[in-house]
Amino acid sequence: MNSDVQYFGMSVDDVALTGWSQAGNLRKLLAFFAAEGVPATFFVVPLDEDSGRPFQALPGDYAGLLRDAYASGHAIGQHGLRHNRFEFGIPPAMILDLPHESENKRFAEENRQRLAGEHVCEKLRPRLRQGREILEDALGFPIVGFRSPALQESPGMFAAIAAEGYQYDSSQCLQETGWDYLLDRMDVPPREITRARWEKIRRKCQTPILPLTCDYTWYLSRKKYDQVLALAQHDFHACLREGLPMVTVCHVDPVWDGEGIRFLREFYTWARSAAASQGKTLQFMTLDDLAREVE
Ligand SMILES: [Zn+2]
């Protein structure tokens, strides 16, 4: 990594996830990133859970949109297989504590033993491969990055990612306070982001891990805007101080429902000047490129 540069990896989750991804919103996001000069990484759900159809058979010409996105400098990654909560591991407590996850939380508690038997490398490898092949067949270029749905994880998942030859994983989080804010716990202080913590996370997998901070834009309300911006600024300052890449995420529909886009525009502008004030250049990079850069 170049010490004169502060790296910024913007990513988008839930592409082609029924109920959470309208192709029109993906189109608008691509226009937004083009206007901002931001190469982003789009994590795509390969298979529709309800209908069993591959993503390219869903309405909205996702394959065409994503091929164009790739050609214009964005990256495409794999977001699980069906976006089932437990297909590769178990989501962290902060996610299972969200109101719309209560059923999944109960399921995890009642099936912990059985799930541990499912989440072993030899069972997860074919599942990973199935999703990757769906994406590669439809898009015509290699898929090298993985992010699990709802940041679920298991030791078997990390072993399978390494065994299948992915170039990076991005299923880990550095800033849990973002999820406290979603639960209206606005008095929870930001977690500290340090290089020691980042390196500890990276030891979970033989393949490089690019942990994200959190999603600042999930149905962001005006009421929470200033405090969420302060959290993002806290995280960016920590990355600057510790020499870590800043990786963050938004979601296709939720970023458009509220103040998310205004937030990203303001945050990008602020981050450019915050980096400059430390004598650094802010460089937006896809996670595919970032994975090579940080090794
Ligand atoms: Zn997701």
Percentage of the chain surpassing pLDDT 70? 100
- Cα(149) to centroid(ligand 1), Å: 4
- Cα(9) to centroid(ligand 1), Å: 17
- Cα(150) to centroid(ligand 1), Å: 5
In this structure, are residues 240 and 5 in contact, taking their beta carbons and an 8 Å threshold?
Answer: no
- Cα(279) to centroid(ligand 1), Å: 36
Question: pLDDT tens, 70-92?
Answer: 999 999 999 999 999 999 999 99
Q: What is the pLDDT of residue 294?
A: 87
pLDDT at 2 over 80: no
Split at pLDDT 50, 70, 90, the class of 3 is: confident
pLDDT at 29 over 90: yes
Q: What is the pLDDT of residue 52?
A: 95
Question: pLDDT tens, 244-259?
Answer: 999 999 999 999 999 9
- Cα(113) to centroid(ligand 1), Å: 24
- Cα(147) to centroid(ligand 1), Å: 8
Q: What is the pLDDT of residue 1?
A: 74
pLDDT at 295 over 80: no
Quick one: which of 49, 59, 60 has its CA closest to 27? Answer: 60
> What would the mean pLDDT of 200-229 be, rounded to a whole number?
97
- Cα(83) to centroid(ligand 1), Å: 6
- Cα(277) to centroid(ligand 1), Å: 35
- For ligand 1, a single-atom ion, the residues with CB < 5 A are 13-14, 149
Residue 140, burial from CB neighbour count under 10 angstroms (0-12, 13-18, 19+): exposed
Question: pLDDT tens, 231-248?
Answer: 999 999 999 999 999 999
> What would the mean pLDDT of 6-21 be, rounded to a whole number?
97
Quick one: three-class SS letters along the chain? CCCCEEEEEEEEEEECCCCCCCHHHHHHHHHHHHHHCCCEEEEECCECCCCCCEHHHCCCCHHHHHHHHHHCCCEEEECCCCCCCCCCCECCHHHHCCHHHHHHHHHHHHCHHHHHHHCCHHHHHHHHHHHHHHHHHHHCCCCCEECCHHHCECHHHHHHHHHCCCCEECCCECCCHHHHHHCCCCCCCCCCCCHHHHHHHHCCCCCCECCECCCCCCCCCHHHHHHHHHHHHHHHHHHHHHCCCEEEEEECCHHHCCCHHHHHHHHHHHHHHHHHHCCCEEEECCHHHHHHHHC
Question: pLDDT tens, 149-180?
Answer: 999 999 999 999 999 999 999 999 999 999 99
Question: pLDDT tens, 96-155?
Answer: 999 889 999 999 999 999 999 999 999 999 999 999 999 999 999 999 999 999 999 999
Residue spans of the domains in the chain: they are: 5-294
Neighbours of 293 (CB within 10 A): 15
Superfamily of domain 5-294, CATH level 4:
Glycoside hydrolase/deacetylase (3.20.20.370)
- Cα(85) to centroid(ligand 1), Å: 9
